[in-house]
Structure 1
């Protein structure tokens, strides 16, 4: 999957990304979860990367899916820290990224307070002083983990949404990609939930997160506006509708993450809201159904 771009163009960028990362093709193939032969064919432009492979490649090499594709679509607003689109990585970028990814995993599983810098050093296979060479303290590590969560979400959206022209299908896929039901998504939600808790404190210093959330909200708003133009979504204030929808998703997601709600109920509640408040319906048909229902009532 690489949109309308010729596979050889994507292949050239993929080769560049692997070269910058310092990883062997075998390691990259393992990270993506495909046979090395398949990767070689994709790197030679003889086959297209699937969406899942693009996500794996971007995650393994540290660039974004958007950069690999040379994508200029507006299916997802850019994150506030989008320097990885340029992919001009310094030599120290790979160890720094490896440390941030290990911190992301540990913070997501155990929480900020429970994780020590020594734990991150052990998970990364480096010394504690090496961690401090790249990050002054644990707060900086958490900031890096948050940036990584934003990147993961952005990469998924570009990889999976660019080929979906129908706004209603794109919205459903967008919400599914941002739900806490997948393994990786649960890790992201854990980081986001901890971020919200930290932002509620008076000494919060996560200045970039509101911008990251605004990016997500704009992505939903743009999708709603596309659907309103084509007639598949109800008319109205798209900004307000995006605020309501993202707030609902946040609330339901927290319930799932904390075990208050199961995945099936989450899906039903979200679907019900979309049908009632977002999807365009035939008012005449709705009126007729309501009238028929009253007639049948004793």
Structure 2
């Protein structure tokens, strides 16, 4: 019996060490950062709108130019608690003024904070990890041109055990994946370069899957059901299917989708509503070619 207990204790100790190692916050390699060029703020503005930064990090209800004041404060409700978007303006006491590009890139692509902690995945780095590193540098350069706004956002409202940041590292092992979700289409009728651009925007910066894809009980995206509707984080609502299925937007043409992203009007002359309003306003600021690319991608991905 004593040997059995010692064996169990040894196994538990080994498991604890393995879990501690696996849960460690990850950072970009020196090789990945070696050829990074200084960011281009002009290009970075496009990345900013594609990434929806203002939707979460401007003050709640912000309109017009106030969307560029990234003081934070928006509450993101979830079954695991309420997460409050932080100040990401260039404020020295409360924002990112003292961050390096490397620290910003690690936050965006690895979900790791400057002080070496795991960010909660309410920050959609599980999508941003598919972004090009240079786009991240361009985004940071643009954000440096925006107003510095002092003011610390409230703390997250997350209880035990979901507030254990180290445990998020184990969640990352399972769900933080860099590769594309959808393989390239086999049909020769699709302009591959346009489709690839759409994939990059939808799966990466646009992080559309974070809302439109169902999640498992621990909050991981069910990638086999990519974009095929999801339960709203709270309440009984459903975030719609945006695949080209009959339940989704199968009756919409590429032109219909692109026009919706530009204007907010559906083919049936209904208008965008709810949280999608902010997303559509962001998409309207992109070049028409990007909206078309998103539409081409959505019309040419597998669906059930």
TM-score by length of 1: 0.30
Structure having the higher strand fraction is 2
Larger CA Rg, structure 1 vs 2: 1
Structure having the higher helix fraction is 1
**Looking at both structures, which has the greater relative contact order when contacts are Cα pairs under 8 Å and sequence separation is at least 6?**
2
TM-score by length of 2: 0.29
